[in-house]
Structure 1
Amino acid sequence: MIGFWISFVMLCFTGIIQIFLPYLLKRTVVFGVTIPATHIEDKLVIQAKKIYSIILASIWLLLLFGYSICSIVVIHNEDFQIIIGITLMFLIMIISMVLYAYFHWKLKIKKQQQKWGKHLTEIRVVDVSLRAKDEMLPLSYFISLAFVPLLLMIYTYYQYALLPEQIPTHWGPSGEADAFTEKNRFSVILLPLMMLVMQGLFAALTEGTKRSGIKISAINPPKSAHKQLNKRKYTSWFMFLTAFLITILFSFLQLTTIHHGIVGKGIMLTIFITFILVILIGSIIFSVKVSNLEEMGERSGFSDGITDIDDDRYWKGGLFYFNKEDPSLFVEKRFGIGWTINFARPMGYLIVFIPLIIILFIALLS
């Protein structure tokens, strides 16, 4: 039942985050539409969030109940249970995006018809001193992790004779290897190579975010600056935690491949479960901290009659940011927690997609 419980926990986490997502984000950006502070309590805005959450919660509970019954009564194969669990997670996210698209359209039409914000003066606030206060982790933290896969490659070649003729490439929910490839000079370092590329990806994402603009709200610049700086700091910490945990897990798998049998099945399973739990707990803490920042007051400091720059025109469907005038490679997501690419900046594509292509290539070779 390990496969079921792992999938069950992840399905619960995915569902809860998606259900409460509209309440975790900026109150002035709802379903990808900029809402002036004077209209954040509008009836349609409040109803849209509520209906989205109720519909998604109802579907999620039905799927969770059906998955639990099927896994306990009908499906006993752990791999199949995990496949179904992952499929249901994607289904929840797809349903979430369908609901998002509907309410994005509704709010956009309402905003245009009633001309929300047309009587307000748009103001852009810039504080050049914020760069000195930015507490995002430096690149050196991620570079330090890169020494681990490099040392592992050296050690692997040193112990080449001890390696089995079949090199593990995949581990099942029980922690046991269930897929293998032939031993050669390349296959024995696949895990360290993949680890190195993933570390590079997290480093590039963090550094790209660090160099991107710090957007401050005109409604309350001091609190907005505080929120932005803390969001960036939490993001870099979460990125580093993820890269660190991947480094530990992959290093453990590589060492158990070299020294086969040094740990029992129970320890392998414990390592896998601990990895998943720490990632989930870290994600929850990150989401809660970001949500708490968004709950901070948004008014004071400026008189009525002003609003932030309405950049809806740069957001395609409220999801894809395309602004040639913005030098930032990454910007905050409008629906979801974290950052997304400025699709008008080719460097953003390179940072994200080249490592992913390399990882996919390594996975195919394995």
Structure 2
Amino acid sequence: MSFIIFFIITLFIAVIQTAIPYLVNRTVVFGVMVPEQYIEDKTIKKYKKYYSLSVALLSIVILVSYLVWVLSNERLDNQVALTGAVIEFALIFISITFYLYYHAKTKQLKQQNNWAENLKPMKVTDLSIRSQDEMLPWYLYLLPIISTIGLMIYTLMNYDILPNQIPTHWGPSGEADAFTDKTSFSAIKLSLGLLMMQLMFLGIHIATKKSGIKLSATSLESSRNRQLSLRKYSSWLLFVVLLGITMLMSYFQLMTIHPEIGEGFVKLIIPFSFLILVLIGTLIFAIKVGRSDKVMETTVEAKIMDLDEDKYWKGGLFYFNKNDPSIFVEKRFGVGWTLNFANPIGLVIILVPLTVFLVISFL
């Protein structure tokens, strides 16, 4: 089972990493802003093609090697899991290495050809776009929070029937593989960690909802479609993932109180179903957002371009702009959001709940 899980995750990472150049904002190539007039440049197309082919071929080699290694001898679950995790990180490292190489090449190409020369930078706004925003309302996130608080109360009410050893970790098969002595704190430790995650998700949702909607001066309609799609589908994905995490961790918590609900294949099916739900949801999100701005507009003003914000992006990956009030902005490589690291509120939203979660986990 461990092999199936890690193989599916690795395959998913490989597919997403291979397709990324064709899913990002069309005027951003390997983290570099390219004026609309030059996005069909032959060299740019070549860079995208070479990146995708390189990542795809190496991914195939890695996946086949992993499969052969597992089937060649009987392997222990922990060996398969550890190797699978190493392979996932290796694949991400390889794709980032290729990305940084082509980021430098694209940046050099832009400078050598003086693409920004004789083009007037412009910024546009649409006062009506907020009314078209279809992000989920924040109060929906109160539902899983309330259910988790209720679960903690229920656990404490049934404290006497809890086992003397409380599970603290579950393996890929759904079996508990780490335990701690029963106390009032350890009994609700899992739910407390879940509550911190829920609060973090709520903070991320509110911050993204308040973040600015950036439109393109040269492709207004396409950029509007992408921004609205990004906001709508990211809010749905975030909420669906949160519901999945809540149901999964609540199931483990209830299984501690009522072990009979974990009998048979249920404890195996539920974690696997959560994995499939997240992967399918992420894939749908990437496709919906990634393809939302790919229809070329018929009229592009020849002498204008969008504001060039390359100086605020370190390596095209990390955004530092103290003049931008947005807490989250659209990624330049990948589909989704990234922090404005110059805005301390974003760090608070992420780091405070995460720190509390880690402290709870190690207590």
- Do the structures match in fold with TM over 0.5? yes
Paired residue for 1:359, among 331, 341, 357?
Answer: 357
Indicate the residue corresponding to 2:202 in structure 1.
203
Deviation for aligned residue 1:299: 4.5
Superposed CA offset, 1:9-39 (max 9, x none):
1110001100111111122101000111111
Indicate the residue corresponding to 1:255 in structure 2.
254
Alpha-carbon distance in structure 2 between the residues aligned to 1:336 and 1:117: 24
Asked if the contact 2:209–2:231 (Cα under 8 Å) also holds between the matched residues in 1, the reply is: yes
Superposed CA offset, 1:180-232 (max 9, x none):
01110100001111111111111111110110100011113233223211210
Asked if the contact 2:215–2:224 (Cα under 8 Å) also holds between the matched residues in 1, the reply is: yes
Indicate the residue corresponding to 2:148 in structure 1.
149
Deviation for aligned residue 1:262: 3.0
Asked if the contact 1:170–1:179 (Cα under 8 Å) also holds between the matched residues in 2, the reply is: yes
Choose 128-137 or 192-201, whichever is displaced more.
128-137
Asked if the contact 1:136–1:233 (Cα under 8 Å) also holds between the matched residues in 2, the reply is: yes
Indicate the residue corresponding to 1:231 in structure 2.
230
Indicate the residue corresponding to 2:306 in structure 1.
308
Choose 74-83 or 6-15, whichever is displaced more.
74-83
Indicate the residue corresponding to 2:8 in structure 1.
9
Secondary structure at the counterpart of residue 250 of structure 2: helix
Alignment of 1:1-366 (within 5 A): 2-300=1-299, 302-365=300-363
The root-mean-square deviation of aligned C-alpha atoms, in Å, is 1.2
Gaps of at least 5 residues in structure 1 are: none
Gaps of at least 5 residues in structure 2 are: none
Alpha-carbon distance in structure 2 between the residues aligned to 1:348 and 1:287: 23
Choose 291-300 or 203-212, whichever is displaced more.
291-300
Asked if the contact 1:15–1:57 (Cα under 8 Å) also holds between the matched residues in 2, the reply is: yes
Please tell me the residue identity of whatever aligns with 1:44: T
Deviation for aligned residue 1:257: 0.3
Alpha-carbon distance in structure 2 between the residues aligned to 1:209 and 1:258: 37
Alpha-carbon distance in structure 1 between the residues aligned to 2:130 and 2:243: 26
Percent same amino acid among aligned pairs?
Answer: 45
Please tell me the residue identity of whatever aligns with 1:27: R
Alpha-carbon distance in structure 2 between the residues aligned to 1:277 and 1:231: 22
Asked if the contact 1:145–1:244 (Cα under 8 Å) also holds between the matched residues in 2, the reply is: yes
TM-score (norm 2): 0.97
Deviation for aligned residue 1:316: 1.0
Superposed CA offset, 1:237-286 (max 9, x none):
00000000111111111111011223313111011111111111111111
Asked if the contact 2:290–2:335 (Cα under 8 Å) also holds between the matched residues in 1, the reply is: no
Q: Where do 4+ consecutive residues of structure 1 move more than 3 Å?
A: none
Alpha-carbon distance in structure 2 between the residues aligned to 1:171 and 1:355: 22
Deviation for aligned residue 1:160: 0.1
Please tell me the residue identity of whatever aligns with 1:245: G
Secondary structure at the counterpart of residue 261 of structure 1: helix
Please tell me the residue identity of whatever aligns with 2:291: N
TM-score (norm 1): 0.96
Secondary structure at the counterpart of residue 307 of structure 1: strand
Q: How many residues align?
A: 363
Secondary structure at the counterpart of residue 265 of structure 1: coil
